[in-house]
Chain A
């Protein structure tokens, strides 16, 4: 069963990019310089909640060593962070906290959703857990695994670097803050969230409490 795409895509519209659509030598060199600076030393904000946080700590420790990416300086203050690594399951009680921390980070910012629980709710398909943090904040890279191995997290970081290196300064939309809908506090339509959170596969049958 695949995902059915609906007509409406977004609740709020990001601002249109302005300016010319052609790249000049100066702008492409500037882009390269800016992207190199941004990706070479991204300070992570470890929003670590559960088991993935332990694997994140193991990645930051001496065996796997995040310092080679310039990321050993963990920034627990969102004001000084570049990338929010959401490591672990996010229950509904923690959702407004995550949203608030993300909003407190200054642009440019990126999000790595580490682990199955942060990416989709994982094995926690129940009343308490957010079925994927991308329903709350925009995510750049998803890392599957429960928990992902440190090598997987490093691969995700490298993927994020590649993503950053393809950014262009003139795409103002990329690093503009998305404002959620004031009533529902959501930034994607509720129907889309419900559709994405539908159980599929084995999870459908594991709802019965008694055989």
Chain B
């Protein structure tokens, strides 16, 4: 996380809500399916980002905002940094692919504001056939690191700007695909014996160079900007570790 942490009047959960005089939260009963009170942050988002907000709806008491892909990073940064919204807690980053081929795939971010005790769901729709790319928010939340890696592993979504986007649940050289996609069969694409053969040929020890650890074999599968960054880091590491003989050294 490289962006400085925001500063609010208080991060105590519920502090902003109490200061604003709103009542304490209670267990919701008899929630309406649709309709219902919209999250107050949505109005501010509409005002600030206007056209980037595709639509917003309230379902079972939860507000969902569908956002254009290029605005999502700035939108989340705004929600995090503004004390009036203070979404300082990233709950989840995930994706949903529908069975209906016409429906676009959705990338989902769940944000929570601890001071205001609010919850917001942000979505980006990616129509079928378009590249699965989204900006990474690891510079805003440290928890996004592993959550985005899992999303990449399970769905194949590339998060641009992620410092270390490699598979996290499957092994790095996993060849069958991205398991949670709807075109990925439940039992995998290969036969059981083939899956076993591939699994048993994983090198458990691996090469113990830190930058190459579990990455080297899968280097070609990594996104391009990450390959460049790794190459730079590796060059720096090589330069550090290579001893050059000075004039005074004996051979």
Chain A residues close to B by CB (< 8 Å): 92-93, 95-97, 99-100, 125-128, 130-131, 135-136, 180, 184-186, 190-191, 193-194, 197, 199, 207, 209-210
**B193 touching A185 by the CB < 8 A rule?**
no
Q: How far is the CB of B230 from chain A (nearest CB, A)?
A: 22
Chain B interface, number of residues (Cβ within 8 angstroms):
25
Hey, which chain A residues are within 8 Å of B198, CB to CB? Answer: 92
Contact B188 A126 (CB under 8 A): yes
Is the Cβ of A96 less than 8 Å from the Cβ of B204?
Answer: yes
Of chain A, the residue at the smallest CB distance from B190 is A127
In contact, A92 and B191 (Cβ under 8 angstroms): no
Please, which residues of chain A bring their CB within 8 A of the CB of B187?
A: 125-127, 199, 207
* Partner pick for B193 among A93, A128, A184, A199, CB 8 A cutoff: A184
Question: Smallest distance from the beta carbon of A133 to chain B beta carbons, Å?
Answer: 11
CB-based contact A97/B176 at 8 Å: no
> Is A186's CB under 8 angstroms from B204's CB?
no
Choose among B170, B184, B188, B197 the residue that contacts A184 (Cβ–Cβ < 8 A): B197
Could you tell me if B200 and A186 are in contact, using CB atoms closer than 8 angstroms? yes
Docked complex Cα distance between A113 and B113 (Å) = 47
Would B188 and A186 count as touching, CB distance under 8 A?
no
For A126, what are the chain B residues with a Cβ–Cβ distance below 8 Å? 186-188
Interface residues of A, dominant DSSP: loop
User: At the interface, yes or no: B244 with Cβ under 8 Å from chain A?
Assistant: no
> Given contacts A92-B195, A93-B171, A190-B191, are A185 and B179 in contact (CB under 8 A)?
no
Measured CB to CB, the closest approach of chain B to A178, in angstroms, equals: 14
Q: Are B196 and A130 in contact (CB under 8 A)?
A: yes
Q: Does B194 interact with chain A (Cβ within 8 Å)?
A: yes
Q: Which of A96, A125, A194, A207 contacts B199 (CB 8 A)?
A: A96
> Hey, which chain A residues are within 8 Å of B184, CB to CB?
127
Interface residues of B in 172-221 (CB under 8 A from A): 176, 179, 182, 184-188, 191-204
- B48 close to A (CB within 8 Å): no
Q: Which of A93, A97, A184, A197 is close to B192, meaning CB atoms less than 8 Å apart?
A: A197
| Apart from A93-B171, A126-B187, A127-B185, 9 more pairs, CB < 8 Å | A96-B203, A128-B179, A185-B201, A186-B196, A186-B200, A193-B192, A194-B192, A209-B99, A209-B182
The smallest C-beta distance from B156 to any residue of chain A, in angstroms, reads 15
Residues of A within 8 A of B197 (CB): 184-186, 190
Output the least CB separation between A200 and chain B (Å). Answer: 13
Give CA–CA (A207, B195) in the complex, Å: 19
What residue of chain A has the Cβ atom nearest to residue B99's Cβ?
A210
Distance, CA A31 to CA B10, complexed state (A): 75
List 15 contacting pairs A-B, 8 Å CB cutoff, sorted by A: A95-B196, A96-B201, A96-B203, A100-B204, A126-B188, A127-B176, A128-B179, A130-B196, A130-B199, A136-B200, A190-B191, A190-B193, A194-B193, A209-B182, A210-B99
Contact B193 A95 (CB under 8 A): no
Q: Which residues of B contact A128 (CB under 8 A)?
A: 170, 179, 188
Give the CA-CA distance A114 to B203 in the complex, in Å. Answer: 26
Residues of B within 8 A of A130 (CB): 196, 199
User: Which chain B residue has the least Cβ–Cβ distance from A209?
Assistant: B99
With CB as the reference atom, state the residue of chain A lying closest to B170: A93
For B171, B187, B199, which residue has the most chain A Cβ atoms within 10 angstroms?
B199
- On whether A127 and B196 interact (CB within 8 A), knowing A93-B171, A100-B204, A209-B99, the answer reads no
Do the beta carbons of B204 and A127 come within 8 Å of each other? no
* Cβ–Cβ contact B193 & A207, under 8 A: no
